[in-house]
A = this chain, B = another copy of it.
Amino acid sequence: MEGIMTEIPRSHPRYKSLALREKLVEGFKQGIVVPQGLIAHGRGEMFDYLLGEKTTKEARIASRAAAALLLKAKRPVLSVNGNVAALCPESIVELAAATKARIEVGLFHRMDMRVTKVQKILEDRGAKDVLGFLPDARIPGLEHMRGLCSKEGISSADVVLIPLEDGDRAEALTKMGKTTIAIDLNPMSRTARTATVTIVDEVTRAIPELVKNVEDLADDRNAAKLALSKYDRDENLALVRARMSRNLETFLKR
């Protein structure tokens, strides 16, 4: 259980999962990811293992609803933390372009240096005007450093994408009246149970899936409406738990 080597054979049954882990450790060495972010990733890995390390039907349904919300939004914002920046900066930039959303860096363990590094990673991939370095607004109900945000960004957003978000922040955004889209592998987390739409999927699979759905629904208002009406968060989360529960019972039989 203590760890896995840096050189992973492509033939390894869990190659993708191990490669992601290495990406995160790399981000950690660069100062983007904090130690707590590594632990949180481990928690996620476990849930992904229970999902079968693939995008499920439930995740696809949630993703279509999320795409519809992003397309309807007047001021969509994508909140990006250290883990997300380390794992899939390209897809975030693509999603921002597809949805005309602003990107805002939001760190749970905020340090100016880390904000700058995350911003640079995104801008190196073509992101424009990334927010977060000079916060000029607050999310009410959060401790000072945690509550910092941008007026132009999260503070005035109507729809906020919160991948791998902390429960306190997710709840505080909901209390502000924001529509939130969570990407979280734990179907029982407060974030998952608080967001307007929760995609239970691994973030490097979830964001490209979201980009595809945004493209598919962009010119089809009826399909977007249908996607929203087909999604029920609590039902979706219950189905995900049932799926994980089944996998947990049967895994040894593989």
Contact = CB atoms under 8 A, between A and B. Distances in A.
Interface stretch (A1-9, A62-70, A221-229): A1-9
Given A3-B109, A241-B249, A245-B248, 17 more contacts: A1-B164, A1-B184, A1-B186, A1-B191, A2-B40, A2-B107, A2-B164, A28-B35, A35-B35, A38-B38, A39-B39, A39-B45, A42-B45, A42-B46, A188-B251, A188-B252, A245-B249
A43 interface: yes
A242 interface: yes
A189 interface: yes
A247 B35 CA distance: 28
Contact of A1 (B25, B166, B241): B166
Chain A interface, >50% SS class: helix
Contacts of A252: 188, 193, 234, 237-238, 241
Q: How many copies does the complex hold?
A: 2
Given A241-B249, A242-B249, A252-B238, A109 B39 contact: no
A37 interface: yes
A46 B47 CA distance: 8
A41 interface: yes
